[in-house]
Chain A
Amino acid sequence: MKFSVTKEKLLEGLQQVQNVVSTRTTLPILSNVLLQANEGVVHLTTTDLDVGVRGSFEAEVEKEGATTLPARRLFNIVRELPASEIQIDVDGKNAASIRSGQSFFKILGLPEEEFPPLPKFEEAKVVTIRQKDLRDGLRKSSYAISTDETRYVLNGLLFSFKDNKLTLVATDGRRLAMVDIELEIPRSQETDIIVPTKAVTELQRLLTDEGDVKVSVSSGQIAFDLNKTLLVSKLIEGNYPNYKQVIPGEAKERVTLERETFLNSVRRVSLLASEKSNSIKLNFSKNNIDITANTPEVGEAKESLPVQYKGRDFSIAFNPEFLMAPLRALTEDEVFLDLIDEMSPGVLKIQTPFLYVLMPMRISS
């Protein structure tokens, strides 16, 4: 196998796939990237057996063939190369010679046959989504995925294809984020699946603002085909809990907030939220919210925010990180905060179908 390519193209190709390679692995082949040179194009594939990514770049292929090379090492070398033209020549024993300007590297790879193939998708359910929509949806929901490994069904994002919409849900037991994406879904293609966190993170990196993504679901696995790149992942087995139970009933009070102003205030005040209780208080009074935090023996912070509010005076406490996460992920100027009382969950909404349920913290008097 022999090909030449510009540094930028090779680097871009490697960047797309190299995150999947795990640093600690028992199978050495999994730290390698599979390179397959065909007419005018080189395909790159990495996998950790749970998630796999396949990308490609255009190159001048002199001799077709395939091999696997250590992904991190190759990436580090390419990144440091001085010249823009790179030539890679792999001999029959999977030793790759990399030439670029005055530099010469030789790295040893493993045979292509050892590389586990990505799963095939036959008899899959297929849905097409606009990349931009999916990217938006993931951004608005993925931060609420649980990292508690003991509740493994929550260690992923629920994709519910139903009633002509895709509903994305993430929860960690203290908060829940939910987004709807309008979509045409034939009855026969409806399904509920849980996509693991790692695949969601990678997918977010790969999605762009243009074009469509073709989603194929077959038993136990999912593929996202982004035209040039392909992401394949195992699904989390099990039933996602009935999240609808969490969404509170009708709100008593609703306040409209300017997202950025509110976010900035919360962030400033949270500087004095104690590490132990880690909460900030929202004190509602007529046309005003006082955001306060205090840590015994450290100090306190208070910021006032004029708002339209005519309800009763009351206070509610939230974990500031949990409150800021959706505010950071959203892009809308205005958000609505719906509340019932100081012990019931708060709900953050926007104009489009999105919902964020957040449990209040106990206010110690």
Chain B
Amino acid sequence: MDEKCTQLWQKLSAALKPHVSADTFKRWFSAVELAAVTPKALSFRVPNNIYQYWIESNHMAALEAAVLTALGEPRQIEFISSESPINDSEPAATSKQTHSVNDAKPATSSFGLNPRNTFESFVIGPNNEIAHAAALAVAQSPARTYNPLFIYGGVGLGKTHLMQAIGQYVIAKKKNTKVIYLSSELFINEFIDAIQHNNLVKFRKRYRQADLLCIDDIQFLGGKERSQEEFFHTFNTLFDGHKQIVLSCDRPASEIANLEHRLVSRFEWGLTAELQPPAIETRLAILRKKARGMQIKLPDQIFEFLANRIRSNVRRLEGALMRVASFASLSGKALTQEVIEHLLKDILQEEARTSITIEQIQRKVAEHFDVRLADMTSKRRPASIAFPRQVAMYLARELTKSSLNEIGDAFGGRDHGTVLHACKLVKRRMKEQDSIRQTISFIDSSLQR
């Protein structure tokens, strides 16, 4: 245990003591050592596995709270048992099981899981931490916590990444778990194929014996009635058998067109986690992580430029990074802002197109509060109109790059002070009233979509 760990552990101990009784602390935590610290995880060394079992079962909340107090942010907590490490993943294997373990390796690739999509390579930010935490919880104890887990979010925000990470985590932990990962389109195709060749039984057997079923892009089930019915029964069988189901979609379950109600209600049964577009800091972190993964070095301004200009989608962000990196290594030219702008002009144009205009905001807000669009710019100011107008100004300030003056002009030639007042007022009321905050975040997210 080096100096840094010792100090941190002392800090943690101090934070932990108020959460547990003195006896508990002496019995369980006095023998614990902090073995390693990484930006993401803390590893604790425990004398033997009973410490791990008991702390995990009973004192995790206290330990997590202590980590939060001491470090100001949550970390993953791992345990290392200093007793002879017994093989934790493989229960007394019969010769048969050993055989299946041996061929588990090649099988992994046939699950359709991309080995790069793991929890380690997932960049966590405020936009996706709930989804990430839920996914991790599911991976750690399938079918215990959240079943089904329904992940939704726009294109390229990490739905597939999280699902595959769950699959790989589960396989890595317990080799003979049956994990099935596929897109709903493949599910439908296989179903049609099974009907044609009249081997539905085999088809059902394949899916209903899974321990973990991950279906990507479930929205494509919409409008396919027979497939929905088949999936409905598969879902029920797995759910009743306490098997984990993970689904991803590009919109909330209730918004999938032509999806039967019984399926919608089932999808909403477990935990629904939303992935939102990453904030600037997260985008920067993603770029840095990717660059490290690809072993390329770029100046900070370039990272910032890319993160600033490409907002909507992680996949596009990676594509842009790749393009810049290959340009740099192929041409050997210095990377200036102009060069990059030229290089990425199609992507940047596309981004600019998806950016939100003040007019869109006005329309959306007017629609939501049921006032006329003309009221947004009119001089009238009863409360029923003034407040929606202020909300619209606030959103315009938050979501567009327009200056206070520009926003004021767009709202019927108002003074920049009026706009500033509106922003402050809305911010204050959001803090005071949950309902207002919810309304505004609803409008916000429907604008982003």
Residues of A within 8 A of B51 (CB): 245
A–B Cβ pairs within 8 angstroms, 6 of them: A150-B141, A152-B91, A153-B86, A174-B57, A235-B92, A242-B48
Q: Which of A38-46, A92-100, A338-346 contacts B (4 or more CB under 8 A)?
A: A338-346
Most chain-A CB neighbours within 10 Å: which of B51, B87, B91, B141?
Answer: B91
Q: Which of B64-88 contact A (CB under 8 A)?
A: 83-84, 86-87
A70 within 8 A of B: no
Distance in Å from the Cβ of A257 to the closest Cβ of chain B? 23
- The CA of A138 and the CA of B83, in the complex, are separated in Å by 29
Distance in Å from the Cβ of B177 to the closest Cβ of chain A? 9
- Interchain CB contact under 8 A, A344 and B92: no
Q: Which of B174-203 contact A (CB under 8 A)?
A: 174
Residues of B within 8 A of A150 (CB): 140-141, 173-174
B323 within 8 A of A: no
- Interchain CB contact under 8 A, A248 and B23: yes
Instruction: For A173, give its contact among B20, B23, B56, B173 (CB under 8 Å).
Output: B56
Residues of A within 8 A of B141 (CB): 148, 150
Residues of B within 8 A of A238 (CB): 86-87
Distance in Å from the Cβ of A221 to the closest Cβ of chain B? 10
Distance in Å from the Cβ of A156 to the closest Cβ of chain B? 10
Distance in Å from the Cβ of A237 to the closest Cβ of chain B? 5
A362 within 8 A of B: yes
Q: List the 8 closest A-B pairs by CB distance, nearest first.
A: A173-B57, A241-B50, A343-B21, A152-B91, A173-B53, A237-B92, A238-B86, A359-B58
Given A150-B174, A173-B58, also A242-B50 (CB < 8 A):
yes
- Interchain CB contact under 8 A, A149 and B174: yes
A236 within 8 A of B: yes
- Interchain CB contact under 8 A, B94 and A50: yes
A54 within 8 A of B: no
Residues of A within 8 A of B449 (CB): none
Residues of B within 8 A of A359 (CB): 57-58
- Interchain CB contact under 8 A, A236 and B92: yes
Chain B residue nearest to A238 (CB atoms) is B86
Residues of B within 8 A of A245 (CB): 27, 50-51, 54
A239 within 8 A of B: yes
- Interchain CB contact under 8 A, A246 and B54: yes
- Interchain CB contact under 8 A, A241 and B48: yes
Instruction: For A239, give its contact among B27, B54, B58, B86 (CB under 8 Å).
Output: B86
A49 within 8 A of B: yes
- The CA of A270 and the CA of B49, in the complex, are separated in Å by 33
Residues of A within 8 A of B54 (CB): 173, 245-246
Q: Which of A228-268 contact B (CB under 8 A)?
A: 234-239, 241-243, 245-246, 248-249
Distance in Å from the Cβ of A78 to the closest Cβ of chain B? 29
B24 within 8 A of A: yes
Residues of B within 8 A of A50 (CB): 94
- The CA of A237 and the CA of B87, in the complex, are separated in Å by 9
Distance in Å from the Cβ of B48 to the closest Cβ of chain A? 6
Instruction: For B61, give its contact among A239, A241, A362 (CB under 8 Å).
Output: A362
Residues of A within 8 A of B83 (CB): 239
Chain A residue nearest to B49 (CB atoms) is A241
A220 within 8 A of B: yes
A154 within 8 A of B: yes
Residues of B within 8 A of A248 (CB): 23, 27
Chain B residue nearest to A244 (CB atoms) is B50
- The CA of A171 and the CA of B54, in the complex, are separated in Å by 10
Residues of A within 8 A of B48 (CB): 241-242
Interface string of B74-116 (1 = CB under 8 A from A): 0000000001101100011010100000000000000000000
- The CA of A343 and the CA of B20, in the complex, are separated in Å by 7
Residues of A within 8 A of B91 (CB): 149, 152, 155, 236-237
Given A148-B141, A242-B48, also A344-B53 (CB < 8 A):
no
Most chain-B CB neighbours within 10 Å: which of A152, A174, A239?
Answer: A152
Interface string of B146-185 (1 = CB under 8 A from A): 0000000000000000000000000001100000000000
Known contacts A173-B58, A241-B53, then 18 further A-B pairs from the complex at CB < 8 Å, ordered by chain A residue: A148-B141, A149-B174, A152-B91, A173-B57, A220-B92, A234-B92, A236-B91, A237-B86, A238-B86, A239-B83, A241-B48, A241-B49, A245-B27, A246-B50, A249-B23, A341-B21, A344-B21, A359-B57
A187 within 8 A of B: no
Chain B residue nearest to A171 (CB atoms) is B53
Residues of A within 8 A of B140 (CB): 150
Distance in Å from the Cβ of A167 to the closest Cβ of chain B? 15
- The CA of A299 and the CA of B38, in the complex, are separated in Å by 46
A151 within 8 A of B: yes
Chain A residue nearest to B58 (CB atoms) is A359
Given A220-B92, A243-B50, also A344-B58 (CB < 8 A):
no
Distance in Å from the Cβ of B171 to the closest Cβ of chain A? 13
Distance in Å from the Cβ of A154 to the closest Cβ of chain B? 7
- Interchain CB contact under 8 A, B96 and A49: yes
Distance in Å from the Cβ of A200 to the closest Cβ of chain B? 15
Residues of B within 8 A of A155 (CB): 91
Chain B residue nearest to A247 (CB atoms) is B27
- The CA of A235 and the CA of B92, in the complex, are separated in Å by 8
Residues of B within 8 A of A340 (CB): 21, 23
Chain B residue nearest to A148 (CB atoms) is B141
Interface string of B13-55 (1 = CB under 8 A from A): 0000000110110010000000000000000000011110110
Chain B residue nearest to A146 (CB atoms) is B53
Q: Which of A181-197 contact B (CB under 8 A)?
A: none
- Interchain CB contact under 8 A, A154 and B23: no
- The CA of A49 and the CA of B209, in the complex, are separated in Å by 20
Residues of B within 8 A of A249 (CB): 23
Residues of B within 8 A of A24 (CB): 209
- The CA of A248 and the CA of B21, in the complex, are separated in Å by 12
Residues of B within 8 A of A341 (CB): 21, 23
Residues of B within 8 A of A173 (CB): 53-54, 56-58
- The CA of A139 and the CA of B95, in the complex, are separated in Å by 32
Residues of A within 8 A of B87 (CB): 238
Distance in Å from the Cβ of B54 to the closest Cβ of chain A? 6
Distance in Å from the Cβ of B238 to the closest Cβ of chain A? 14
Q: Which of B125-149 contact A (CB under 8 A)?
A: 140-141
- The CA of A239 and the CA of B52, in the complex, are separated in Å by 14
- The CA of A238 and the CA of B57, in the complex, are separated in Å by 20
Residues of A within 8 A of B84 (CB): 239
Distance in Å from the Cβ of A174 to the closest Cβ of chain B? 5
Chain B residue nearest to A237 (CB atoms) is B92
Distance in Å from the Cβ of A233 to the closest Cβ of chain B? 10
- The CA of A173 and the CA of B141, in the complex, are separated in Å by 15
- The CA of A82 and the CA of B310, in the complex, are separated in Å by 79
Distance in Å from the Cβ of B144 to the closest Cβ of chain A? 8
Instruction: For B24, give its contact among A154, A174, A239, A343 (CB under 8 Å).
Output: A343
Residues of A within 8 A of B209 (CB): 24
Interface string of A335-365 (1 = CB under 8 A from B): 0000011011000000000000001001000
Distance in Å from the Cβ of B309 to the closest Cβ of chain A? 44
Q: Which of A154-174 contact B (CB under 8 A)?
A: 154-155, 171-174
Distance in Å from the Cβ of B55 to the closest Cβ of chain A? 9
